[in-house]
Amino acid sequence: MSNEIELRKSENKFIIGKVPSWIARWGNLVILAVCLFLLYLSFNFTFPVVIQGKIHVSNDNVYIIIPRIKQNMIKSGQSAGLRMDDYPYMDYGIFQGKVAPLENIISEKNSIYVPIDVFDEKNAVNRSDLIQNMTGTGDIVIDRIPVIYRILKTK
């Protein structure tokens, strides 16, 4: 007596050899629905385009230093994120701010100092949290593009 399965029986040929039609029909529909859902998400989720620069903290002002060539991309009111080297931003998060009115831009040889407003009611940042001459990096979000454009490298 052997414990092997006999594949020549008609019952086994029917089960192994033929895919039920409902699996083929509904399986294709599910795959199509998942693909359409992913395509929808890729057009509706956006990816931020940022300009990075070093942070300079002076008396009551915070500046992000960026190259002069990128000056035309900066507009008042754009959001900014500040990561200070001496502040545990991994534990408490980054400072959020907005680009201040552009009349306060300070120009140097190859760079500009973009003023950032971080002291507001929503942020709960005290001026004592940012000490003069602190260093770090800052990001200014200049645009938000859909993920599909980022994947396909268009726009």
Q: Tens digits of per-residue pLDDT, 74-119?
A: 898 899 988 888 777 777 777 888 898 888 777 888 899 888 888 6
Output Rg (C-alpha) for the chain, integer angstroms.
28
Q: Cα angle vertex 136, ends 111, 124, to 5°?
A: 115
Whether pTM > 0.95 for this model: the answer is no
As a residue count, the chain comes to 155
Per-residue exposure over 5-34, b if at least 16 CB sit within 10 Å of its own CB, e if not: eeeeeeeeeeeeeeeeeeeeeeeeeeeeee
Helix, strand, coil percentages, rounded to 5, for the chain? 35, 30, 35
